Structure formats: C-alpha cells, structure tokens
Amino acid sequence: MDVVLEVCDQFLFDYMYQLVLPARLAPSGLTSQTFANGTSMSTWQYKPATEYLHMTPSQAAYGSLWARDNMWRQGVSLFLILWIFGFLVYFVFASLSYLFIFDKKTFEHPKFLKNQIWLEIKQANEAMPIMALCTAPLLVAEVRGYGFLYDTLDEAPWPWWNWFQIPLFLFFTDFGIYWIHRGLHHPWVYKHLHKPHHKWIMPTPFASHAFHPLDGYAQSLPYHIFPFLFPLQKVAYVALFVFINFWTIMIHDGEYIANNPIINGAACHSIHHLAFNYNYGQYFTLWDRIGGSYRAPEQEMFQKEVKMSEEHWKKEVEVMEQIQLEVEGEDDREYEPEMETKKRQ
C-alpha cells in the first residue's frame, strides 16, 4: 500500500499536512526541518515506493512537522485512504452495477425491504470509517516494512512466484473468509455482528459493504494477513485489493451468469442470503464442499423469467421463512407495504 500512499502524498497529503502541521523554517539548503535547538526533526529523504513509478516531491513534502515517514502521519493517511477510497470504489461501482446490471423487478420481491437501498447505503457508510480505523494499523506495519511485500518481479523468491502468488492469495483468503464467515454464524456471534448484513434477504449491489463494522473488518483480515506470511508483489497487492471490492459488489448484484460448480458467484451468494447457513465461501465452493455447507443453485435460478416469477418467489419465501425462524426467531425486518398487507391477511 506504500505505492498508493506515495501517490496520495504527492497530490494531496503533503499539502494537507503542510497546512495543518506546518514545519518551522529550516536553515537554507536543508531539506529536513529542525527544532529551534538545532536537533534534527526529520531525516526523511525521498525514495520511490516502487521502481515502476518515480515522482519528484514538491516543496510541500518538506513543509510539515510530520514528514512522510512519520508513523502517525502514515496511520492517519492510510485511514483516510481506506475510508475515502473504499467509499468511492463502493459507491461508484455499486451504482454502475445497480444502473446497468441489477434487475429492478427485484423491488417487487416479497422480501425486499422498505427503503432498502437507502438503508444499505446508510449502513455501509456508517461501517466504513470504523473498518478503516481497525485496518489502518495493519497497513502501517506493512508500509513500514514488517511484511513480505516486494517491488520488482526480479525480487520474487522464485521466478514462477510472480504467477503463483495470485491463486495462492485467492485460495488463502477464501479459506480464511470461509471459517471467519462460518464463525460469524454461530448463534452467540450472529445476532451481535453478522445479522445486520443478513437484513438484506434480496440484496442489491449497495448491500455489498453494508456490514456491522467489526464483521466487515473480521472478514477482511485474511487479505491483510497474507503479505505478513507470504511474499506478495506491491502492485499485485493493490490490484487484488481493488478486485476484492469489485467481487464483493458482483456477488450481490443478483445477476446469475453461469452455474459454475467451482466459482462461488452471485447465485451461490444469493442462496446464502436466502438460506443463511450455506455457501460461506467468497470465491470458490471448495471449502463449503469440504465443510458440508455447500448448496448448489437450482437450474431455474439461471432462467431469468422463471427466477423473477411470483411462483418462484413464493417457493423461495417458504423455504427462507422456515430457516429464518430457526436462525433468528421472530422476523423484525420491515418489508414493503404490500408484504405487510399480505402478512396481516
């Protein structure tokens, strides 16, 4: 993440910290600022985060009491990056998915909640700053060199590692998320942490990040732990971070493209929201199959006219309500008025 941090420092944070925490004037010709007693306040000198990108710092880079290598500055900056960048990725791409992929007929589903999209966005945006605050210390440790991130492809432990690291990352994180996610469904934990995400029986793309903040943080841990255990190329790390967010949106978009027995796509994840205790995996069905929690999508889910029919919805609701009663007890969700009328009849 030091590559992203350097770009943000260059174009935003150098000026922000110079304004908020300006440095005292340094003697002519010195790039590091000094205290009045002459002791050095910062020995920071520019070193590119990656050989693939070189940006000469502006004078603002030397204009703050907190130099770029200050741990507290790094923590604040990474918190803001996680929060703001996370919000932009979430809102922009969830909006695009909603506009061009999500089937608006879902609004008519009997389990679609009243004001659901607004509630999803509200919950996601309440969670993001807390998730960012919890995650920032891990990124600070990574930026300060405590992990196994490497820069150029030649620095890989073996030439083949540059390709092997990608599937290893996906399988490692999928394994970790499976067990964390399954643990979040334990009755002692579910009602306190994971139930807010299961409020959405028929999720939209905006539900992708609508978690309790500690739930979202817990499920993100495998991503951030990986580079402390295995070598990972810096740019690949950033690309995978973006991919993870895209994937999370995609599995909540309700568009079932293909019934792949290996990939845990939107169809598998929709079953998780409807049937609760199945399909905990993030990318693959492997750990669900091993753990006995895999439930294959029915073929009719891939026939759009069938899956959006009232007959299919009625069948879904009957199964869902039985499982929901076992898992949660009384249903405290507030559905659209039409459903409320049916429930009273």
List pLDDT tens digits, range 242-273: 999 999 999 999 888 878 899 999 999 999 99
How high does pLDDT run on average in the chain?
90
Phi, psi of 233 (to 5 degrees): -70, 140
Mean pLDDT value of segment 59-77: 94
Mean pLDDT value of segment 187-199: 94
Residue 134 — very low, low, confident or very high, per pLDDT cuts 50/70/90? very high
The angle that helices 310-328 and 266-275 make with each other, rounded to 10 degrees, is 50
- Distance separating alpha carbons of residues 102 and 119, to the nearest angstrom: 17
Would you say residue 36 has pLDDT above 60? no
- Distance separating alpha carbons of residues 192 and 215, to the nearest angstrom: 9
Q: What is the pLDDT of residue 343?
A: 47
Residue 1 CB burial class (10 angstroms; 0-12, 13-18, ≥19): buried
Percentages helix, strand, coil for the chain (3-state, rounded to 5) are 60, 5, 35
Q: What is the pLDDT of residue 44?
A: 83
DSSP symbol at 323: H
Select the more confidently predicted residue: 304 or 130. 130
Query: CA 272, 252, 177, 217 torsion: positive or negative?
Result: negative
Q: What is the DSSP string of 40-79?
A: BS-------SBTTB--PPPGGGGSBSS-TT-HHHHHHHHH
pTM: 0.88
